[in-house]
């Protein structure tokens, strides 16, 4: 702090700055000790947060994979004819041979343009704007300024459209009015009117068609984005179904196409133009759909069949049409399956059908255990476990460097960045030395590995029996691959249970080691969160967070006291200088003559 007065004029010879510094030394030492203690707790919190993050990653990402039957009871399937069916097996598959016959492949409802699209405006043969499919001239539907002015109140000609075909009394349409509308269905029940959750409305306003000049691409997007009018569940009006139909326009071939994403006869593409509010909406919808020249594609014959022409004005109007796919049929081990797609999972085997089998012929599917895959997973488990247990042991056993502690700002001023870095590395050693929370996690993890699973009968009921053995007194594991392969050959189900068995009663002694470790880490993470929170932020409810907050408040109070104490010292020496100056003046007055 700067001096509060001018010193030395009295001739006292006192170094006031030095006297104040000496007077402040004991107080500054107290503050520095408080600072070091607070920094030590911040470091400890950060160190525990880092361990927390690693344990959480291991728990949520690493262990999840080892709980799956498909991972630890790996099976392999092979098809005798992959041109007909390809196969994969999961952990639930049995080691056996299946016979497969494919009578018919499933197909999806599919429509695509068959021929050149019809545009009403023949002067624009390559236009993709919807208005050119509906109107012969781009100006035929637009009001003149005089027509707009004659209406009371006057209309904005850029936003109001003349309805073509009227004669005596003009019928004006606002831009927000619907120009065309049709209903789309993606299931047979929807088309039959028995399921409103599969009923979708596609519509365009005059503004969209005439002002915004929307195109066939916008039509495709509206179809893909359509949502159902009916509720999916409950009474939530916003809980709507999304249409299961894809639509697209190909400018290269000038072709519009649609298909149902799900196969089978019940998954359809169905149109209904009879639900429009006005006859004009229905007429425009019919005109647009007819212009697309849509045809139904038959996969069996590889041919197109033109759909009927929509005509809402005819004596017997065609206003609704529906087109479905076809169901597939396969026989697996004597049982016939009718399928909406060319994929089915039966008894742990996934069959992907590519073609039909010849009459009287079948494909053989062999399922065997993939021992190499299980060994590889067990090896990976041991590596992942060792990585986390070794890191925990390193933190738990790392001793404190007693001669090193947090540096104050004053100490750092006389050091280089490299020196500070080396110092703080030593100062941070041993932050979690013999920490009780870390110690308990280590102990519980080791117990989860070493304790036999009491719900498994027979020889293979522990990690040791299947080749996962403790290598050191710190819990580091090693894998005896030969021992594991023998266990897999003798009792593969037991191997899976040792690693990943669950228990309905949630008894730890009956669980496999992956689930046991998951329980240990869930409990350990909760305890660590209570002690240090989950991040370096000090404003949490953890024990260390509360302690750091309290220490910072004490330091702030103590710093205010230091400032007041320093000011008091300067004030005292100010008074001393004034007194000495007065005495010198008196002395000089008495003895100068």
User: Could you tell me if 189 and 173 lie in one domain?
Assistant: yes
pLDDT given for residue 168 in this prediction = 44
Integer Cα distance of 495 and 514 in angstroms: 12
Tally of domains within the chain: 3
Question: Do both 142 and 245 map to the same domain?
Answer: yes
CA dist 36 and 18 (Å) reads 25
Do 334 and 310 share a structural domain? no
Among 267, 296, 326, the domain-final residue is 326
pLDDT category at 535 given cuts 50, 70, 90 is confident
Give the model confidence (pLDDT) of 442-463 as tens digits.
999 999 999 999 988 889 999 9
Structure tokens at 20: 């104040």
CB 106 within 8 A of CB 341: yes
**Contact indicator for 118, 133 with CB cutoff of 8 Å:** yes
Residue 21 in domain: no
At 6, the pLDDT band (50, 70, 90 cuts) reads very low
Segment among 10-14, 44-48, 339-343 with least mean pLDDT: 10-14
Q: State the burial class of residue 439 (Cβ atoms within 10 Å of its Cβ: 0-12, 13-18, 19+).
A: middle
Question: To the nearest whole percent, how much of the chain has pLDDT over 70?
Answer: 86
Last residue of a domain, one of 299, 326, 353: 326
Q: Is the confidence at residue 21, as pLDDT, over 80?
A: no
Please give the backbone phi and psi of residue 288, each rounded to the nearest 5 degrees, phi first: -70, -45
Say if 220 falls within a structural domain.
yes
In the predicted structure, residue 438 carries a pLDDT above the cut 80: yes
Under the phi-then-psi rule, with left for phi > 0, alpha for psi from -120 to 50, and beta for the rest, what region is 458? left
For the record, the structure tokens of 592 come out as: 């100068």
Three-class SS state of 192:
coil
Q: What is the DSSP letter of 449?
A: H
| Residue where one domain finishes, among candidates 503, 519, 538 | 538
Tell me the mean pLDDT in the region 209-234. Answer: 85
> Please, are residues 499 and 490 in contact by the beta-carbon 8 Å criterion?
no
DSSP state of 161: E
The highest-confidence range among 192-201, 213-222, 485-494, 531-540, by mean pLDDT, is 213-222
Q: How confident is the model at residue 584 (pLDDT cuts 50, 70, 90)?
A: confident
Q: Do 386 and 297 share a structural domain?
A: no
Of residues 501 and 362, the one with the higher pLDDT is 362
Q: Is residue 38 in some structural domain?
A: no
DSSP, collapsed to helix, strand or coil, labels residue 558 as helix
- Asked if 338 and 378 sit in the same domain, the reply is no
Q: Which residues pair with 227 in a beta bridge?
A: 242
564-567 contacts at long range (C-beta below 8 A, 24 or more positions apart):
565/24, 565/27, 566/1, 566/20, 566/24, 567/1, 567/4
Q: Are residues 276 and 358 in the same domain?
A: no
Q: With b meaning 16 or more CB within 10 Å and e meaning fewer, what string describes 401-416? A: eeebbbbeeeeeeeee
**Is residue 149 situated within a structural domain?**
yes
Task: Tell me what pLDDT residue 63 has.
Answer: 87
- Strand, coil or helix: 93: coil
Query: What are the pLDDT digits (tens) for 173-207?
Result: 777 888 899 999 999 998 888 888 899 999 999 88
Total-model pTM? 0.57
pLDDT higher than threshold 80 for residue 275: no
**Amino acid 7: pLDDT:** 46
Asked if the structure places residue 209 within a domain, the reply is yes
181 and 292 inside one domain: yes
| Residue at 165 is within a domain | yes
Q: For 536-563, what is the mean pLDDT?
A: 86
* 467 and 351 within one domain: no
Per residue in 483-520, pLDDT (tens digit) is 999 998 888 888 889 998 888 888 889 999 999 999 99
Name the residue range of residue 478's domain: 43-71+373-538
Question: Do the domain assignments include residue 140?
Answer: yes
Q: In the prediction, which pLDDT does 560 show?
A: 84
Does 359 share its domain with 379?
A: no
Examine residue 7 and state whether it is found in any structural domain, yes or no. no
Q: Is 268 in the same domain as 406?
A: no
Q: Tell the burial category of 554 from Cβ atoms under 10 Å away from its Cβ (0-12, 13-18, 19+).
A: middle
The pLDDT, as a whole number, for residue 39 is 92
Look up tokens 């039957």; give the residue: 69
Q: Are residues 353 and 419 in the same domain?
A: no
Give 532: exposed, middle or buried? Use CB within 10 Å, 0-12, 13-18, 19+: buried
Residues 126, 119 contacting (CB under 8 angstroms): no
pLDDT of residue 8: 46
Alpha carbons 388 and 380: distance in angstroms, whole number: 13
**Max CA pair span of the chain:** 144
Of 2, 5, 1, 112, residue with least CA distance to 571: 5
Cα separation of 98 and 76, whole Å? 13
From 558, 386, 523, 545, select the one nearest 41 (Cα to Cα). Answer: 545
Together in a domain, 179 and 285: yes
| Dihedral sign of CA atoms 310, 314, 316, 317 in order | positive
Phi, psi (5° rounding) for residue 313? -100, -5
Q: Which residue has the higher pLDDT, 589 or 99?
A: 99
């Amino acid at each position: 702090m700067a001096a509060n007065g001018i010193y030395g004029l009295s001739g006292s010879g006192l170094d006031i700055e030095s006297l104040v510094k000496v007077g402040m030394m004991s107080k500054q030492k107290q503050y520095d000790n408080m600072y070091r203690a607070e920094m030590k707790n911040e470091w400890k919190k950060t160190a525990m947060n880092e361990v927390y993050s690693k344990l959480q990653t291991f728990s949520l990402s690493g262990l999840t994979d080892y709980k799956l039957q498909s991972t630890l009871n790996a099976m392999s399937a092979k098809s005798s004819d992959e041109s007909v069916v390809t196969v994969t097996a999961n952990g639930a598959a049995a080691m056996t041979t299946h016979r497969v016959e494919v009578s018919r492949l499933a197909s999806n409802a599919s429509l695509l343009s068959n021929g050149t699209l019809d545009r009403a405006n023949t002067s624009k043969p390559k236009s993709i704007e919807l208005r050119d499919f509906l109107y012969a001239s781009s100006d035929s539907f637009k009001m003149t300024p005089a027509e707009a002015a004659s209406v009371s109140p006057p209309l904005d000609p850029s936003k109001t459209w003349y309805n073509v075909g009227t004669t005596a009394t003009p019928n004006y349409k606002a831009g927000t009015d619907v120009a065309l509308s049709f209903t789309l269905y993606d299931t047979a029940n929807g088309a039959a009117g028995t399921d409103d959750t599969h009923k979708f409305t596609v519509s365009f306003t005059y503004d969209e068609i005439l002002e915004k000049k929307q195109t066939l691409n916008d039509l495709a997007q509206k179809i893909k984005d359509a949502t159902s009018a009916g509720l999916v569940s409950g009474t939530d009006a916003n809980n709507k179904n999304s249409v299961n139909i894809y639509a697209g326009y190909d400018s290269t071939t000038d072709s519009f196409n649609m298909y149902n994403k799900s196969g089978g006869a019940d998954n359809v593409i169905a149109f209904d133009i009879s639900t429009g509010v006005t006859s004009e909406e229905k007429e425009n919808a019919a005109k647009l759909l007819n212009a697309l020249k849509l045809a139904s594609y038959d996969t069996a014959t590889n041919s197109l069949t033109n759909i009927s022409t929509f005509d809402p004005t005819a004596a017997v109007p065609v206003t609704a049409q529906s087109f479905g796919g076809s169901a597939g049929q396969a026989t697996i081990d004597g049982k016939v399956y009718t399928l909406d797609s060319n994929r089915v999972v039966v008894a742990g085997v996934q069959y992907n059908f590519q073609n039909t089998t010849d009459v009287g012929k079948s494909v053989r599917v062999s399922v065997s255990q993939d021992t190499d895959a299980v060994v590889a997973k067990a090896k990976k488990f041991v590596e992942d476990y060792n990585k986390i247990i070794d890191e925990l042991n390193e933190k738990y056993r790392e001793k404190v460097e007693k001669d090193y502690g947090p540096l104050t700002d004053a100490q750092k001023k006389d050091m280089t960045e490299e020196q500070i870095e080396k110092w703080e590395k030593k100062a941070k050693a041993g932050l979690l030395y013999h920490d009780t929370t870390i110690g308990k996690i280590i102990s519980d993890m080791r117990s989860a590995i070493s304790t036999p699973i009491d719900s498994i009968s027979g020889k293979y009921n522990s990690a040791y029996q299947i080749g996962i053995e403790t290598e050191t007194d710190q819990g580091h594991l090693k894998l005896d691959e030969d021992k594991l392969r023998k266990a897999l050959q003798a009792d593969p189900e037991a191997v899976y249970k040792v690693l990943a068995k669950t228990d309905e009663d949630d008894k730890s002694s009956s669980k496999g080691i992956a689930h046991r470790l998951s329980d240990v880490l869930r409990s350990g993470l909760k305890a660590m969160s209570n002690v240090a929170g989950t991040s370096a932020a000090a404003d949490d409810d953890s024990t260390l967070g509360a302690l750091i907050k309290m220490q910072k408040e004490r330091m702030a109070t103590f710093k205010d006291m230091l400032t007041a104490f320093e000011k008091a010292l300067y004030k005292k020496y100010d008074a001393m200088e004034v007194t000495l100056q007065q005495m010198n003046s008196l002395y000089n007055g008495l003895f100068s003559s």
